[in-house]
Amino acid sequence: MKNITTLLFVFCCISSVYSQEKEFTTYRNGLIYSERTMGKLSHIVDSLNLKYKTCNFNATFYSKSQTIGHLIKVDSASIKAALEDMENQIPMEDFVKKYPKATVELNVLITKSKYKNYKGSDLISFDEFDLKGENGFNFTTDVQSAYEHDFSEQWLFDYNQKSEYAEESLTAFYFPQNFTSIPIPQKYSQMIGYSDCLIDTTTTKFKDNLKEGQVAPLPPNWASLSYKQKAKLLDDMRRTRVVGGCSQDNSPRLHAIHIALLSADTYFWGVFLKAHLDIMNDRFERMTDGSYAWANRNTYIKELEELNINVPDLILGISFQFENAATNHYFGNIVRLGRALTESKQRKEFEQAILSIVSDNQLDAYNRVMFYFLFRNYNYYLEDASLKNENIAKLAKARSTLPDYISARLVEE
């Protein structure tokens, strides 16, 4: 039975490799949606313009809770004594003198956030924003009071006993000051508000009580089906979650485009846009996902630019990170969005806006760095070498406006 499962898995990956040579059907208009579907989408957008004009763009959004702290890794010989001192909240200056062999990284950007794990449990996460990679230290707790706790001049440590798999270890944060969250400037809050309004946070792509299943093919004559039949097909797909079996398995993306097509034909704009953004951001579950498969998954920003919507405000609005998000706010993937911008007709507008955001000292440090990486990812995917070099110089100028503890750690690729 195990061998059969393995063979099926290998077959899934091999067949997906061939199917991804051309990910989706491209129509005469050069888009993954036909002229007929684009006409329906344009009609929906035009009919919703009055709604957009009445959206509340004056809402105040607050930055992700953050602080500047120190990261400490204790040498093995000092762990037991250091652990006791941390529990007793030893002052940082005294700790450094007492444990000279400990590795201390001063002034790192640390964020605090709430989230639910796959079991639905509420957790609090304290994360180092590692500016050189993706290996930042993380501390997670289910103690809900930790989120409101004042950590000024206090330690937060992670102690692991020796096991058959790892040596004893002690890693800690020390916080000179407590976490803060500041208002995001109004000009950016308007972008967030526009993205919420356009995407419609009252609607979800999927229904409740999802069942796992396979991607269902669209009937060859689906476009000629009655509205009721299309709505029934769409409802069934919105009740099914498709999980990729391997890195090359594109079935979750096929499932999403089927939802997008049916949503457009049945005038469910909120469902359509979420499905399309999921394709753009590659927001799908997979058993495994190797980076070698990413190149075959395109972003399809052109389809949005053909509609009468403000694509720059939409993309930038879902790129900001903030605390008081609507329940169904859509947060974009910085890497995928950077790649999408290379295909945009409004690249210059995006470049100017992003560099301005990076340089804005009225904005919190975390968002400024996130937009720095958005621009860097965008530049990475550009094919024009001379344009890349020009952008590197522009980004270096913007980087110089960041706080020293951040700019000194950023390394150009």
Mind listing the pLDDT tens digit for each residue in 215-247?
989 999 999 999 999 999 999 999 999 999 998
The residue ranking higher by pLDDT, 18 or 39, is 39
For residue 400, give the nearest of 353, 361, 359 by alpha carbon.
Answer: 359
Band of pLDDT at residue 209, cut at 50, 70 and 90: confident
Please give the pLDDT value at position 132.
Answer: 78
For the entire predicted model, the pTM comes to: 0.91
Band of pLDDT at residue 16, cut at 50, 70 and 90: very low
Across the chain, mean pLDDT equals: 91
DSSP state at residue 97: H
Instruction: Please write the tens of the pLDDT for every residue from 128-174.
Output: 998 877 678 999 999 999 999 999 999 999 999 989 889 999 999 99
- Angle CA(391)–CA(393)–CA(398) in degrees, nearest 5? 90
Q: Is the pLDDT of residue 53 over 70?
A: no
Quick check: 78 and 99 in contact, CB under 8 A? yes
Q: Is the pLDDT of residue 5 over 50?
A: no
Query: Is 126 in a helix, a strand, or coil?
Result: strand
- How far apart CA 185 and CA 233 sit, in angstroms, is 43
For residue 24, give the nearest of 9, 7, 37 by alpha carbon.
Answer: 37
Please give the pLDDT value at position 412.
Answer: 56
- DSSP letter string, 185-250: PHHHHHHHHHHHHHHTTT--SS-SS-EE-PPPPPPTTGGGS-HHHHHHHHHHHHTEE--BSSTT--
Band of pLDDT at residue 43, cut at 50, 70 and 90: very high
Please give the pLDDT value at position 50.
Answer: 57
Quick check: 72 and 159 in contact, CB under 8 A? no
For residue 366, give the nearest of 111, 178, 115, 175 by alpha carbon.
Answer: 111
Q: Is the pLDDT of residue 94 over 90?
A: yes
- How far apart CA 41 and CA 389 sit, in angstroms, is 38
Length of the chain: 413
- DSSP letter string, 9-74: HHHHHHHHHHHGGG-S---TTSSSS-HHHHHHHHHHHHHHHHHHHTS-TT---BBPEEEEEEEEE-
Give the lowest-confidence range in 129-138, 269-278, 281-290, 309-318: 129-138
